[in-house]
Amino acid sequence: MMDWWKEKDAALICEASKLHPDFNRMEQFLKDGANVNAVESDGEENLLSQIILDHGRDTEDGDNGEQDSLQEVVRFFLDHGFNPGADDGRAGAKCLVNMCWSACMSSKIPVVRMLLDAGFQDIPEDEDSNESDERLPSDAIATKASYLHTCEHDFVSANIFEAMWQMIEAKKESRHYHGIDRFETAYGRTLLKVWVSKPKSGEPFFDLDRPRSKHRNCFKDNLFFQVDGGYLYLLNGAYMIFNTEPPQEELTDATERFAFLVGYKIRLIRLSRNEIRKGSTIYGQTITEFCFENDMVLRTQNNFGEEPTEETVTYYSIG
């Protein structure tokens, strides 16, 4: 990698990419001629996008479960004049795309928030790219979330990427995005009310009676748990985010259905999946268990794959 960079820029990349870099050394590299807006000789990466890509890889397994310093590194480059608008904004877009591939997990959401605040945009990061999931940062992040959820079964990471995607979408729509965070933010918060997406017709909850899919307490679309200080979104029965802002859709009050849980704190959320095999096809049904301080558990699951021609629904049980 360093063959593509001038010596001082390469030295700055090496130091800034460490899980815990020496910021005094980074300052010295700048004084010695390193350029925060340097671009790789083939034009593929800029200095900050390369650092985001490499950050934390000096440890044996990337993030290593430890709080990383990517936030501080990004702030260093913004404070020292990094220009996200260079190359018609593609410099900033490359940084957002590379958030998909950084080894660091603990800082992903706050760093994306920081980048959006600094004017990084969801625009094509490569004007010559023909790959749909590489055209926009939001496409790349959505693809990574789907891959982690569907192929790797890494549900926690998939939900982190969902929060990143939701922030970018909110920014594009001029909505407040500072309150969007990972689902664990709901831990220790008291459930106040429960809301469900209002259906276009009929009742929001129903029983399903199909040859291969028989379930009670079914619902479509989204469920929202209003807690002290915000909302926990369960989106399409699969993904979760926390948001201090209320949902931007028409809702129906479903609190009465969840009365056994109201007034108690969310203690833990467990994520897993049930597999249905049909020939060579494997359908993964998302299972989410919301554990409350009164030892009650709300369990949601979808019926994906049970009826190929039937629209996927989510159903719940409390026990």
> Percent of the chain scored above 90 by pLDDT?
79
Angle at 66 between CA 60 and CA 68, to 5 degrees: 95
Chain-centroid distance, C-alpha 210: 34
pLDDT of residue 283: 85
Q: Residue with structure tokens 């010295």?
A: 28
DSSP string, 14-49: HHHTSSS--HHHHHHHHHTT--TT-B-TTSS-BHHH
CB-based burial label for 154 (10 Å; 0-12, 13-18, 19+): middle
Ordered structural domains, the chain, with CATH? 2-175 (1.25.40), 183-318 (no CATH)
Q: Residue with structure tokens 């998302």?
A: 286
Neighbouring residues of 299: CB distance < 8 A, sequence distance ≥ 6:
287, 288, 289, 290, 316, 317, 318, 319
Neighbouring residues of 28: CB distance < 8 A, sequence distance ≥ 6:
none
* pLDDT per residue as tens, the chain (319 positions): 456 788 999 999 999 999 899 999 999 999 999 999 999 977 789 999 999 999 877 654 444 455 789 999 999 999 999 999 999 999 999 999 999 998 888 899 999 999 999 999 999 988 765 555 457 999 999 999 999 999 999 999 999 999 999 999 999 999 999 999 999 999 999 999 999 999 999 999 999 999 889 999 999 999 999 999 999 999 999 999 999 999 999 999 999 999 999 999 999 999 999 998 888 888 899 999 999 999 999 999 999 989 877 788 999 999 9
CA distances from 225 to 59, 74, 133, 158, 247 (A): 38, 33, 32, 20, 10
